[in-house]
Amino acid sequence: MVEEVSEQKIIRRIRTYINGLDEHMEGGIPEGHATLISGTAGTMKSSVCFNILYNEALKGKKSLYVSLEQSYESLVQHMSNMRLNIHRIKLLPIKDLTKINEVVNKAKAGDTGSIIIADVGCIRNEIKDIKLGDNRSWLNVIKNIIKKMKADLNCDLVVLDSMSALYVLSRFENPRIELFYLFEFLKSMEITSYLISETTDNGAYSELGMEDFLADGIINLRLTPFRRNIVREIAIVKMRATDCNNDIFSLEFKNGQFQALYGGQNPLL
């Protein structure tokens, strides 16, 4: 006998804060999903992810941005250039992992939302103290920061920028197995994660050819030549548990706002 599922679980969603795109995926990405934000260089992957955390922080949320490609200073400089008013939230760099409790206390103080940033420098300093030769330590340090943020701050939004940098730094012995357990870890932590994945123009959404089916969702960004212009484009390639529109949209960024336009149509140039 087939048992019918009588009650449909209500899925809470987190907006991408890209106007015109959230409307095409039932309002946003389901909570707890691990989503690949894939794209070629300079397609605004980091900006899209930071903008999500920024807007969630405006609502009082605390989240974690693991920046393995850019230093804290360079990331913040870029976001200020994009006219995100970073003074409306708390930006808290982890300068020294041995003093992580100071960052936790600052995030806890008051109702203002925060983005805690762990950059490559702070993680590298920690690795120096771990016995050399443990080539999985990068991933272990990152996992420990995520665990700590979840336990102490109930921080359940994490950006990992980028998977490509993680592969270079970690020198996994068996990348496919390590990757499988990374996704298992993110699921077990019940956090919503955005995993930035650098791609080339060969049409693949991931580097190891495995992230795309392990991930719950894939959002792809690209730069496409159109006549003598380059158009920024975005598409929801997949989003589990979501009725979504897979059309390709133009992506615009104006006055501190992302906008997806002309889904399925030629851009109006």
Ligand X SMILES: Nc1ncnc2c1ncn2[C@@H]1O[C@H](COP(=O)(O)OP(=O)(O)OP(=O)(O)O)[C@@H](O)[C@H]1O
Residues that bind ligand X (CB under 6 A): 39, 41-47, 69, 78, 81-82, 253
105: which 2 tokens?
Answer: 């206390």
User: Which lies closer to ligand X via its Cβ, residue 42 or residue 209?
Assistant: 42
Cα separation of 195 and 199, whole Å?
A: 12
Contact 195/36 with Cβ under 8 angstroms? yes
Q: Which is nearer to ligand X, 32 or 39 (CB)?
A: 39
Least Å distance between CB 154 and ligand X?
27
SS (H, E, C) the chain: CCCCCCCCCCCCEECCCEECCHHHCCCCEECCCEEEEEECCCCCHHHHHHHHHHHHHHCCCEEEEEECCCCHHHHHHHHHHCCCCHHHCEEEECCCHHHHHHHHHHHHCCCCCEEEEEEHHHHHHHHHHCCCCCCCHHHHHHHHHHHHHHHHHCCCEEEEECHHHHHHHHCCCCHHHHHHHHHHHHHHCCCEEEEEEECCCCCCCCCCCCHHHHCCEEEEEEEEEECCEEEEEEEEEEECCCCCCCCEEEEEEECCEEEEECCCCCCCC
Residue 242 touches Mg ion, criterion: CB under 5 A: no
| 1 contact choice in Mg ion, ligand X, none (CB below 5 to 8 Å, kind-dependent) | none
Nearest to 260 by CA among 13, 20, 72, 89: 20
Dihedral Cα 12, 164, 256, 266, nearest 10 deg = -90
Please identify, among the stretches 29-37, 39-47, 209-217, 233-241, the one whose residues bind Mg ion according to the rule CB under 5 A.
39-47
Q: Does 46 bind Mg ion (CB under 5 A)?
A: yes
Taking the complex as a whole, how short is the minimal distance between the CB of residue 161 and Mg ion, in angstroms? 6
Cβ distance to ligand X smaller for residue 61 or 232: 232
Tell me which of Mg ion, ligand X, none is bound by residue 2, counting a contact when its beta carbon lies within the kind-specific cut-off of 5 to 8 angstroms.
Answer: none
User: Taking contact as CB under 5 A, which single stretch among the options 38-46, 119-127, 219-227, 230-238 is the one that binds Mg ion?
Assistant: 38-46
| Binding of residue 199 to Mg ion (CB under 5 A) | no
Q: Which stretch binds Mg ion (CB under 5 A): 17-25, 43-51, 113-121, 225-233?
A: 43-51
Q: How far is the CB of 172 from ligand X (least distance, A)?
A: 21
From the list Mg ion, ligand X, none, pick the one residue 256 interacts with, judged by a Cβ distance below 5 to 8 Å according to partner type: none
Work out whether 38 is an interface residue with Mg ion (CB under 5 A).
no
x-marked contacts with Mg ion along 121-150 as a string, rule CB under 5 A: ------------------------------
Q: How far is the CB of 41 from ligand X (least distance, A)?
A: 4
Question: Quick one: 153 or 159, whose CB is closer to Mg ion?
Answer: 159
Nearer to ligand X, 185 or 253 (CB): 253
Nearer to ligand X, 123 or 159 (CB): 159
Residues that bind Mg ion (CB under 5 A): 46
